[in-house]
Structure 1
Amino acid sequence: MRSGSVPTAARAAVSRDGNQLVFTLTRRDGAESPDVTATVESGTELSSWPDVWQIGQDTASSSAGVSVEENGSDDDIITVAIPLDGGAGRFARLVIARSS
C-alpha cells in the first residue's frame, strides 16, 4: 500500500530553517502531467496570498526557491524555500489544479 492512500501518513511538512519557511511535499509520477499545476502561495495574512512559487516538472522549470528531486518511479520530493521577512508571521498553502 502506498503511503498516499493512508490518511495518517504525512505527505507534506513545514519547518523553519534560519530565515526560511521550508515547505516539503511529495508528488507521484502520475501528477507530472501538463494538465496539473501545483503552486505554493504565501502571505502574512490569510486574506491574501501575494507570493507564489510555481512547481514545475523539474527544478529548472520551477520558480526560484523550488527544488524538485526526481526519484525515478518513486515519489518525487519537492522543497519550497519561502523567505521570512522580519518578525511578521507567514502562512503558506499548497494549491493543486487540474485543467479540464
Structure 2
Amino acid sequence: MMAALDYDDKNKDKTPTARMAEKFNDLIGSLAEQGSGSHKGFVWEYYVPYFLEMKRKDFVPAFTYLIRAAHTDQPDVQRWLQAHTAQVEGFQEWSKNYAWPK
C-alpha cells in the first residue's frame, strides 16, 4: 500500500528520500499501534522501543536522510542535511545517549 502511494499526485514532487522518511514514519506508527507489550522477542523488546521513541521525538527524517547520506547521486539529501543541522545533531546526540534495555 505504501509503495502504491508513490504514484499518487500528492507525492509526485517529493524526493525518494522524503517518501522513504514518510514510509518509515508510517511503519513505526503501525508498530506503535500494535503495542510492544503484545509481542515478545529481541526485536520487540530491544529495537522497537528505540524507533518508537525516535518517532515520538520527530527524529525519523534526520535518521532517514543520514541513512541516505552516501547517495552522492541525490543532491537533495546533502541539501536537506545542511539545512537541518540542528535536527541532525539533536538526533545524533539523542541516539548516542539512548538508554538501551539491558
Using the size of structure 2 for normalisation, the TM-score is 0.26
| Greater per-residue strand proportion | 1
The structure showing larger relative contact order (alpha-carbon pairs under 8 Å, at least 6 residues apart) is: 1
More helix by share: 2
Of structures 1 and 2, the larger Rg is shown by 2
TM-score normalised to structure 1 length? 0.26
